[in-house]
Chains A and B, each alone.
Chain A
Amino acid sequence: MNKIGKTKIPHTTPRYSATFSNDINSDIRRAAATGIYDIRGGGAKRKLPTFDDLLFLGASISRYPLEGYREKCETSVTIGTRYAKNPIELDIPITIAGMSFGALSGPAKEALGRGASAAGTSTTTGDGGMTPEERGHSSKLVYQYLPSRYGMNPDDLRKADAIEIVVGQGAKPGGGGMLLGQKISDRVAEMRNLPTGIDQRSACRHPDWTGPDDLEIKILELREITGWKVPIYVKVAGARPYYDTTLAIKAGADAIVLDGMQGGTAATQDVFIEHVGQPTLAIVRPAVQALQDLGMHREVQLILSGGIRNGADVAKALALGADAVAIGSAALIALGDNDPIYEEEYNKLGTTAGAYDDWHEGMDPAGITTQDTELMKRFDPIEGGRRLRNYLKVMTLEAQTIARACGKNHLHNLEPEDLVALTIEAAAMAQVPLAGTDWYPGKPGTSY
């Protein structure tokens, strides 16, 4: 030990760098060892402003509540009322987001269909086409129309209850898809018309249209092929929500699906997931503003996704103007993804339950994000469907509980005036007052 004279110099406690944290250092070591960027599944894991930064005010003397369990609080929503002959009628405003067969196992897709149907809502295909199991078990199925067009054909298009033109995804605005060779089984390869075992890259742009004027013509083509029967959604990442919503409405969309950066992906570069896009909280008001400016709010429906977890999130999304929400990651957790019962096996993969995100490697101990036939056997689609139904029901009950407390007899009657924000950032993004004030940054008529 060093001394100055007779005085021992004490050690300071080891101090980690906020800039070069352990996480960052491990990223650097990994990059140096492999020469390949880190690929993972899921959405942004960094701390972001979220719906948790908002609170409902509930009822008081100026507002009276509805009696829980006695007075009705409606939850239904109709999507596609603008042009479609057959709009989709959902019992609850919570839908299942697009996830591909390929990224997920066949039984997992079946479970999503079972759970969604039992709860009276829709599920959505993904970047791999429509499987018979999925169609068979989904009373309302939205068919995604993606840049890759894997498995796209007019027969499946006509079997769909709605078509979702995917322009972007919250986890990777401007990015294409990726399904690594480990998951390109014979069946996945056949559906995608690719050799087995190769890394499948999906384009980031549609192959036969570019820009909003082309999109309008593409929507016309899809309507002509399907006889103007089914709604056509346009899904965009929450990058420029005001302009993208405006352009999608102009192009003739029946509904807009808007996905924040917490929204999951099957596999993308970690740097993309964490550094491109905007938080879900920040994108809903600009999109609603675009709908209102064009006189299309509630005529063109807004479906918000990206990190929706519980009934409070649903209620907050609807209060800010969305017509419905979509869940992906949360649905997988309900099915059993990242369940601590598989902790030992997660440890063997170098991770822990709750943090497992190497879905692209196809080794999922829960048998959900895999094409490995042995792992898939662990997952029971009937039980999975039951769990998803329960979860959707609980979310709905939670949202109804909040709405009744705010005096609302339909979830759509929730409004921004029911909310306050806990932080200045959340107040600015949601355009609701900071708690205890009547102010938010940028509020018209204020000079802050």
Chain B
Amino acid sequence: MLEFDLQENGLRKLNSALHDQKENSNQTVWKVTNPKGSHSIAVGIDAPIEVNIEGSTGYYCGGMNKQANINVKGSVGPGVAENMMSGKVVIDGDASQYAGATGHGGLLVIKGNASSRCGISMKGINIVVHGNIGHMSAFMAQSGNLVVCGDAGDALGDSLYEAKLFVRGKVKSLGADCEKKEMRPEHLELLEQLLSDAECDAKPEEFTRYGSARKLYNFNIDNSDAY
């Protein structure tokens, strides 16, 4: 394991070293100490490595990640794993706004709560939140799955496209064009896999599925109140 003290060596050196890792690197496990809320830690990695961050981070931790497994032993600031392409990012604590924003792939696990706009504009990423999520989550979410083991705030799934939303607890309100959907066997199967990958012991049957009513897909004046 390689240990990297962020305060001593600086962000540029850390990200530069992580970017230099290739597919067949034998330096597969990295430990980052003293993150102290710094922004842009472990962004843009493209290698099958493991990065363990020992503490809380600022904005955009794990941004645009490809292949890597990133574990944060603390909480994260806004935009964790934004635009992630693949790999896995696990947060032991809570996440601020925009968690997993625009992510294309991979799995984001938040063991605490996530703030507002979790999964905004998601494009294929899977997000599992063990706790609650804030308002306007999954706004304009295009594809992928958002699993919430707790409650969801106001306007869940506003202007939703094809992403699937699963909530175990209460939903304060649904956004425009988001509706409750039937939970079919394939959804239960999908949910079981996601919960297992996220090390969450909730049961798929406890969840309700939400998705797009698809009424805003093509402009219709009769739906103008929804805009």
User: 1/0 per position for A197-231, CB-CB distance to B under 8 A?
Assistant: 11101010001110000100110110011111000
Task: List the one stretch of A96-104, A118-126, A150-158, A383-391 in contact with chain B.
Answer: A150-158
Residue of A nearest to B85 (CB): A153
Number of residues of chain B lying within 8 A (CB) of chain A: 43
Question: What are the residues of chain B within 8 A of A224 when measuring CB–CB?
Answer: 11-12, 15, 40, 43-44
Question: What are the residues of chain A within 8 A of B64 when measuring CB–CB?
Answer: 153-154, 157, 225
A217 and B39 within 8 A (CB): yes
B94 within 8 A of A: no
Question: What are the residues of chain A within 8 A of B142 when measuring CB–CB?
Answer: 193-194
Return B65 CB to nearest CB of chain A, in Å. Answer: 9
Return A268 CB to nearest CB of chain B, in Å. Answer: 13
Question: What are the residues of chain A within 8 A of B180 when measuring CB–CB?
Answer: none
Task: List the one stretch of B22-30, B165-173, B217-225 in contact with chain A.
Answer: B217-225
CA separation between A148 and B139, bound complex, in Å?
Answer: 12
B35 within 8 A of A: no
A153 and B83 within 8 A (CB): yes
Task: List the one stretch of B117-125, B145-153, B181-189, B191-199 in contact with chain A.
Answer: B117-125
User: When the two chains form the complex, which single residue of B120, B143, B159, B221 contacts A36, counting CB atoms closer than 8 Å?
Assistant: B221
CA separation between A45 and B194, bound complex, in Å?
Answer: 53
Residue of A nearest to B217 (CB): A198
User: When the two chains form the complex, which single residue of B46, B58, B221 contacts A34, counting CB atoms closer than 8 Å?
Assistant: B221
Return B221 CB to nearest CB of chain A, in Å. Answer: 4
Question: What are the residues of chain B within 8 A of A197 when measuring CB–CB?
Answer: 218
User: When the two chains form the complex, which single residue of A149, A155, A214, A218 contacts B102, counting CB atoms closer than 8 Å?
Assistant: A149
A35 within 8 A of B: yes
A68 within 8 A of B: no
Question: What are the residues of chain A within 8 A of B60 when measuring CB–CB?
Answer: 208, 217-218, 221
CA separation between A34 and B64, bound complex, in Å?
Answer: 43
A195 and B218 within 8 A (CB): no
B140 within 8 A of A: yes
Question: What are the residues of chain B within 8 A of A214 when measuring CB–CB?
Answer: 59, 78
A225 and B123 within 8 A (CB): no
With A201-B159, A207-B102, A208-B101: A154-B44 Cβ-Cβ less than 8 Å: yes
CA separation between A34 and B224, bound complex, in Å?
Answer: 13
B101 and A193 within 8 A (CB): no
Question: What are the residues of chain B within 8 A of A194 when measuring CB–CB?
Answer: 142, 161-162
A225 and B44 within 8 A (CB): yes
Question: What are the residues of chain B within 8 A of A209 when measuring CB–CB?
Answer: 78-79
CA separation between A332 and B99, bound complex, in Å?
Answer: 39
Return B192 CB to nearest CB of chain A, in Å. Answer: 25
Return B212 CB to nearest CB of chain A, in Å. Answer: 10
Most buried by A among B43, B64, B78: B64
B124 and A154 within 8 A (CB): no
With A152-B83, A208-B82: A221-B40 Cβ-Cβ less than 8 Å: yes
User: 1/0 per position for A151-195, CB-CB distance to B under 8 A?
Assistant: 011110100000000000000000000001100000000000111
Contact-residue bracket for chain A: 20 to 34
With A149-B123, A208-B120: A154-B46 Cβ-Cβ less than 8 Å: yes
Residue of B nearest to A220 (CB): B40
Question: What are the residues of chain B within 8 A of A218 when measuring CB–CB?
Answer: 59-60
Question: What are the residues of chain B within 8 A of A154 when measuring CB–CB?
Answer: 44, 46, 64, 66, 83, 85
B207 within 8 A of A: no
Question: What are the residues of chain A within 8 A of B36 when measuring CB–CB?
Answer: none
Question: What are the residues of chain A within 8 A of B63 when measuring CB–CB?
Answer: 221, 225
CA separation between A194 and B101, bound complex, in Å?
Answer: 16
B203 within 8 A of A: no
User: When the two chains form the complex, which single residue of B43, B78, B218 contacts A198, counting CB atoms closer than 8 Å?
Assistant: B218
Question: What are the residues of chain B within 8 A of A203 when measuring CB–CB?
Answer: 121, 140
Return A140 CB to nearest CB of chain B, in Å. Answer: 22
User: 1/0 per position for A357-396, CB-CB distance to B under 8 A?
Assistant: 0000000000000000000000000000000000000000
Return B24 CB to nearest CB of chain A, in Å. Answer: 19
B104 within 8 A of A: yes
With A153-B83, A208-B82: A221-B39 Cβ-Cβ less than 8 Å: yes
B217 and A153 within 8 A (CB): no
Residue of A nearest to B97 (CB): A208
Question: What are the residues of chain B within 8 A of A198 when measuring CB–CB?
Answer: 161, 217-218
Return A302 CB to nearest CB of chain B, in Å. Answer: 27
Residue of A nearest to B46 (CB): A154
B40 and A195 within 8 A (CB): no
B102 and A199 within 8 A (CB): no
A208 and B39 within 8 A (CB): no
Residue of B nearest to A198 (CB): B217
Return A412 CB to nearest CB of chain B, in Å. Answer: 33
Question: What are the residues of chain A within 8 A of B43 when measuring CB–CB?
Answer: 221, 224-225
Question: What are the residues of chain B within 8 A of A153 when measuring CB–CB?
Answer: 64, 83, 85, 104
CA separation between A217 and B123, bound complex, in Å?
Answer: 23
Most buried by B among A201, A203, A221: A221
Question: What are the residues of chain B within 8 A of A152 when measuring CB–CB?
Answer: 83, 102
Return A226 CB to nearest CB of chain B, in Å. Answer: 8
User: 1/0 per position for B80-92, CB-CB distance to A under 8 A?
Assistant: 0011010000000
Residue of A nearest to B44 (CB): A225
User: 1/0 per position for B8-27, CB-CB distance to A under 8 A?
Assistant: 00011001100100000000
Most buried by A among B44, B46, B101, B120: B44
Return A148 CB to nearest CB of chain B, in Å. Answer: 7
Residue of B nearest to A192 (CB): B142
With A217-B58, A217-B60: A208-B102 Cβ-Cβ less than 8 Å: yes
With A157-B64, A199-B219, A225-B44: A208-B104 Cβ-Cβ less than 8 Å: no
For the complex with contacts A36-B221, A208-B79, 16 further pairs of A-B residues with Cβ separation under 8 Å are: A35-B224, A153-B85, A193-B123, A198-B218, A203-B121, A203-B140, A208-B82, A209-B78, A214-B78, A218-B59, A218-B60, A221-B39, A221-B59, A225-B15, A225-B44, A227-B16
CB-based closest 9 A-B pairs? A225-B44, A35-B221, A208-B79, A208-B98, A149-B102, A198-B217, A208-B101, A154-B64, A221-B40
Sample (6) of A-B pairs whose CB atoms are under 8 Å apart: A149-B121, A153-B83, A181-B218, A197-B218, A209-B79, A225-B15
